[in-house]
Amino acid sequence: MVKTKSTDGIKTLIESQRSNNYTLKIGFTNDTITKITEVIKSIGYDDFEEVIVRAAYNFSSNEFDFIENLNYQYGKFTSFQRSLSLNPDTVNYLETNYNKIRNSSDTQRAIYRMSIVGIIDDYVIDYVGSFIEVRFKAKSESEYLNNFKTYLKRYLGNQSTDIWIKKVSNNVETSILKKVLYTLISFIEDEISDKRKRSIDYMQQLCELGFEQGEKVFRENIIYYFTSKYARVDYLPKDTDSGRFESVAIVKKYLEYISKPPDGLGGEIDNAKHLRGACANLRITMTKENASIDLLTAYSLFALEAKESDNLTSALERPLVSQAIELYRKGFRGLMRNENESWQSIKDLLKIFNEKY
């Protein structure tokens, strides 16, 4: 294993301009866990080991979780015969150093992010030696910005990409490396993490639906999510520019498809299921709210979940109907804020929407 030691880092080497090309070996971890272990041992816990710190860190999202998890993991390590009683100085030390811990996942994540923006050109992971060898060279500010821009365009349109590029320039850091990396981290937190949360929320919704209505309904929704004909490239993704464009015309078009599908196949219920699956699929990848998707989702939920025998009270008892009502309201509010839509076109859509439902 590579022993961690103090040496010039990537930023220092690039700014030193001592060479055109650099190679650096980075250990999977740093020595913060070792230091934390020694501090806790020094206050009377001779049996305390690094594995306790690693386990506590793996299940923590902040320094407060970390201290709580340390106590639990230590109890588990000692078969719950002992617990930690930390003095204020030790607690302060742990809170201060929590964010300095770097495990293998942290290291690989950081290196991948640096490769995205071209700070690192290439890297090799040595699992036997427990280190990563990185290769890099100094580049101009425009090269770092262009690499970041190329990455952003995998997920965003031109306008949204330009907004994020401006955030790089407005960042208070003096180093272009930090400016780009901090903006990248913000983007991942704001955009990528949100998509993952929407994916998890949708899967949870399907599980609840399956629990309520049975395995057949659960399996059916999974199938339509992955195979919906309206999720194909030439349908909703193209018409909405992958969720970036919304309009009254889009909603009208797909409401018409419920009874008159372009392929001539399937009844109204089947086409509503296709529409629901396509909207769910697209919603997870969208980078902003979309009124058209909200309204089409609302309609498909009304069509599939509401019953003729329902009154308002019984309908609202079903979570998906309540969700449809909320999306209906949000969708029309969204269209009203759209400067490209006239009030008359929205009223016409409202009439068509309500008559169909």
List pLDDT tens digits, range 134-151: 999 999 999 999 999 999
Mean pLDDT, 10 residues at a time, over the chain (357 residues)?
Answer: 62 86 94 96 95 94 94 94 94 96 94 93 94 94 94 81 91 90 88 72 78 82 85 90 90 92 89 91 83 94 71 62 88 90 92 76
Give the side-chain half-sphere CA count within 13 A for 71: 12
Here the tokens at position 342 are 């006239």
pLDDT at 205: 75
What is the C-alpha to C-alpha distance for residues 61 and 189, in angstroms, rounded to an integer? 14
Candidates 240, 226, 215, 206; CA nearest to 320 is 206
Contact present, 335 and 291 (Cβ < 8 Å): yes
Q: Which strands form 122-126's sheet, in the order they lie side by side?
A: 22-27, 131-136, 122-126
Full DSSP string of 132-159:
EEEEE----HHHHHHHHHHHHTTT--HH
For residue 2, the model assigns a pLDDT of 42
pTM exceeds 0.75 for this model: no
Where is 25: in which H helix or E strand?
strand 22-27
Burial class (CB in 10 A: 0-12, 13-18, 19+), 7: exposed
Question: pLDDT digits over 48-104, tens only?
Answer: 999 999 999 999 989 999 999 999 999 999 999 999 999 999 999 999 999 999 999
Q: Are 223 and 325 spatial neighbours (Cβ–Cβ below 8 Å)? A: no
Q: State the pLDDT at residue 348.
A: 92
Which residue ranges make up each domain of the chain? 10-136, 141-190, 214-356
Cα–Cα distance measured from residue 296 to residue 191, given in angstroms and rounded to the nearest whole number:
23
Packing angle, helices 50-58 and 63-77, rounded to 10: 130
CA distances for 118 relative to 122, 150, 329, 333, angstroms: 9, 11, 44, 42
Alpha helices in the chain (DSSP H): 10-16, 32-42, 50-58, 63-77, 88-97, 104-116, 141-152, 158-170, 176-187, 193-213, 215-227, 236-239, 248-259, 268-285, 291-305, 312-316, 319-337, 343-356
